[in-house]
Amino acid sequence: MAGCALHLNCGETVVHRLLHARLLRLSIGWMLIGVGAVITPTPVPLGALLVLAGLCLVARDNRRLRGAIRHLRGRFPRLSARVHVLRDRLPALLRRVVETTDPRRRPRFRARGKAAGGEPV
């Protein structure tokens, strides 16, 4: 066992850590969405903030949710423009979600590695 490069289990532990981190993010995100939905009718808008935080956590790992948010932002361009203006003032996690759900930005998964005409980049 001269080093990590010769030991095959080192790569497996990194993959397992990434999977555990993803599972933790998704679990916490869905829990925040559920709790936020329940307490949204209260006079203090804490529920809406919890739902927003949960959506940010889940959207980081869920392509369909990012697509749905992108679709909603496309349907409401004035709200999307306001969110885009606030982007630089947001924390890194929120900023990343705002950038990846921008309806003006083409999604990465549609044309991965190819130009619009089908030619490799």
**Helix 46-59 / helix 9-39 crossing angle, nearest 10 deg:** 150
3-state secondary structure of 10: helix
- The 10s digit of each residue's pLDDT in 64-81 is 999 999 999 999 999 889
Helix spans in the chain (H): 9-39, 46-59, 63-75, 77-86, 92-100
Percentage of the chain beyond pLDDT 70 is: 77
Answer yes or no: is 3 within a domain: no
Answer yes or no: is 118 within a domain: no
21 & 42 share domain: yes
44 & 67 share domain: no
Residue 121 pLDDT level (bands cut at 50, 70, 90): very low
- The 10s digit of each residue's pLDDT in 28-62 is 999 999 999 999 988 888 998 899 889 988 998 89
What is the number of structural domains in the chain? 2
CB 58 within 8 A of CB 33: yes
Structural domain including 46 reads 15-54
Answer yes or no: is 111 within a domain: no
Residue 70's closest CA among 86, 88, 55?
55
- Name the pTM for this structure: 0.65
Answer yes or no: is 115 within a domain: no
Answer yes or no: is 23 within a domain: yes
49 & 74 share domain: no
73 & 45 share domain: no
